[in-house]
Amino acid sequence: MFSWNLLGVLLWVIIILYLVFVVQNIRKRRIMMIIKKHQKYSWPNFLLDLLEIAVFLVGICWLFNKTLLDNPDLEDQSIISSKVTYQPLVMNTGAGNSSYVTINSKKKKISTQTYTYYRAGKKSIVSSDFATVAYGKNPLDLNAARIPYQKKKLQKMDRRYQRAYVAIYTATYKKVWQNGLGMHAGHTATRYYLIRIPDASFIKEK
């Protein structure tokens, strides 16, 4: 079956071949200029060099951004499909106070933080870059507000699970040609964990 990601592969092949062409073309024109015109430099030739190099730089920057720095609109349903799964939390009753989530922090200049939570028969650890802990009446905090959760659905889960669950949002690139340009078609765009707990007393810090 044809994959739209082949478009991205083709673009990278084209940009590499164009680089080879630019190098060879610049070299050829310089040799011809020296042999036929006995010149080592001319403005028209210099400007043509700049134009070819500029086209290459624009192309490689655009393709690099499309492939490695893509930042899609999560609400754009033409390129993104999404789903949210809800899983109840299990209280950790080990040493110390019982808790739903443990925050592990490292005291460094560039700090790192992870959240550990438990589901039935499973322990999960997620980075704070892709997760948040929300407690109190509002199921959404400022960090999770950038993810298109449905607040009414979260409130429904609040009632079902007594505010003790994780809402896992998964966005996937649709298999369309626009996503194929960056070789993302069919791949996961992002996954975010909203860890919901009743209040801050259910957090354990390390």
Rg (C-alpha) for the chain, rounded Å, is 26
Structural domains of the chain, count = 2
Instruction: Name which of 55-64, 153-162, 168-177, 197-206 the model is least confident about.
Output: 197-206
Question: Does 155 reside within a domain?
Answer: yes
β-bridge mates for residue 126, sequence order: 115
Residue 109 confidence (pLDDT): 66
Same domain, 47 and 85: no
Taking only the tens place, the pLDDT of each residue in 41-93 is 788 889 999 999 999 999 999 999 999 999 999 999 999 999 999 999 999 87
Q: What is the rounded CA–CA span in Å between residue 203 and residue 129?
A: 18
Return the ∠ at Cα 27 (arms to 22 and 30), rounded to 5°: 125
The b-or-e profile of 113-142 (16+ CB within 10 A means b, else e) is ebbbbbeeeeebebebeebbbbbeeebbee
List of E strands, the chain: 80-88, 101-106, 112-119, 122-127, 131-135, 165-173, 188-197, 203-205
Are 29 and 96 in the same domain? no
Instruction: Note whether 178 and 111 are same-domain residues.
Output: yes
Claim to verify: residue 98 and residue 47 sit in the same structural domain: no
pLDDT of residue 44: 86
Q: Is residue 85 domain-shared with residue 151, that is, in the same domain?
A: yes
Q: Considering the domain boundaries, does residue 74 fall inside one? A: no
Q: 3 in helix, strand or coil?
A: coil
Which is more confidently placed, 156 or 98?
A: 156
Whether 73 maps to a domain, the answer reads: no
Together in a domain, 28 and 119: no
Question: How, if at all, do strands 112-119 and 131-135 pair?
Answer: unpaired
At 178, the pLDDT band (50, 70, 90 cuts) reads: very high
| 126 and 159 Cβ atoms separated by less than 8 Å | no
Mean pLDDT of the chain: 92
Phi, psi of 196 (to 5 degrees): -100, 125
| Listed residues 44, 68, 92: the one ending a domain | 68
Residue 53 belongs to what domain range? 5-68
